[in-house]
Structure formats: C-alpha cells, structure tokens
C-alpha cells in the first residue's frame, strides 16, 4: 500500500513532475483541512514558479483518484482533506460561522436506509451540515431535548 501521495500516483502509473512532487509534499505537510490558496502559499516558499492553476489541476487529480475529499464550508474557499484524515463531518453555524467535527456514525442509519429503501449509495465521506449553534439561537440544548 502506498505510503505517500507520490507513491500512490506512481503506483497508478501516473507521471510525477517536479512541480507536482512539490505540491504533493506541501499537501502532506499541511495539517487537516486546507485550501488551494494555503497550498499555494506553502508551495511558493519552495518554488515561486508554480501557479495556482497547477495547484487546482493537482487537487482535481487527487479528487478523481479518491485520495482527497473536498467540502464547501462557506468560508469563501473549498476545504480539502486527505482521505487519510479519516471520514468525518462538519456542522457549521450560518450566523457566526462556528463549526465542529462530528463522527461518521451519525450518518450510518441514514446511509443504510437510503441503500435499503432506494438502492442508493450515498457519498458522505466529508459532509457539511449548516444550521445554527446554541449561542445564535439563544436556546440551551437541554431546553430542546
């Protein structure tokens, strides 16, 4: 099993250019979620000639190969995460923008029901749910239970 993104691309017979190798290394060095702009900033420290379009093409390739996931957190930029970052999800407050991660286990009943009732296989590897946090609604969690 490939241990790095570089190994994963080579194992699939894909060419790894020096620019792509720099981008892959930057992605592996950045913790958790990242934006294309954050990757670009990191890459510019190594090679100032790599442009943002090359970053986006590399991200698209990694998404196609199922090595990364993407999520729109409504922060103005798409967030990317390596598949090795574990399947998880986000709840984001529409008012204040606060977010938290929650376990995939909460989706298991829904994905099972979709599969059994509709023969539909849901792709919920990195889902974002929008709503309102306790502070913004002014309600305590126990009052709603």
pLDDT confidence tier of residue 123, bands split at 50, 70 and 90: confident
Which residue would you say has higher pLDDT here, 52 or 127? 52
Mean predicted confidence (pLDDT) in 66-76: 78
Tell me how far apart the alpha carbons of residues 27 and 20 are, in angstroms, rounded to a whole number.
11
Cα distances from 10 to residues 7, 16, 20, 140, 141, in angstroms, run 5, 7, 12, 52, 50
Domain boundaries, the chain: 1-83, 86-133
Are 58 and 20 spatial neighbours (Cβ–Cβ below 8 Å)?
yes
State the CATH class of domain 1-83: mainly alpha
Check residue 143 and give its pLDDT.
Answer: 41
Tokens of 75: 């922060």
Residues ≥6 apart with Cβ < 8 Å to 8 = 2, 65, 67
Average pLDDT over the chain, rounded to whole?
Answer: 85
Tell me how far apart the alpha carbons of residues 28 and 42 are, in angstroms, rounded to a whole number.
11
Are 29 and 39 spatial neighbours (Cβ–Cβ below 8 Å)?
no
Are 127 and 88 spatial neighbours (Cβ–Cβ below 8 Å)?
no
pLDDT in tens, 99-110: 887 887 888 899
State the CATH class of domain 86-133: alpha beta
Is it the case that residue 31 has pLDDT exceeding 90? no
């Amino acid at each position: 099993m490939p241990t790095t993104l570089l190994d994963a691309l080579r194992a699939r017979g894909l060419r790894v250019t020096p620019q792509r190798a720099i981008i892959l290394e930057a992605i592996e060095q950045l913790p958790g979620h990242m934006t294309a702009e954050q990757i670009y900033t990191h890459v510019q420290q190594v090679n100032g000639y790599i442009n943002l379009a090359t970053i986006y093409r590399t991200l698209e390739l990694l998404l196609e190969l199922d090595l990364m996931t993407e999520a729109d957190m409504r922060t103005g930029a798409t967030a990317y995460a390596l598949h090795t970052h574990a399947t998880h999800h986000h709840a984001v407050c529409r008012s204040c923008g606060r977010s938290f991660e929650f376990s995939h286990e909460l989706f298991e009943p829904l994905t099972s029901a979709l599969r059994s009732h509709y023969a539909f296989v849901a792709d919920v590897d990195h889902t974002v749910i929008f709503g309102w946090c306790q502070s913004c609604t002014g309600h305590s969690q126990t009052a709603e239970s």
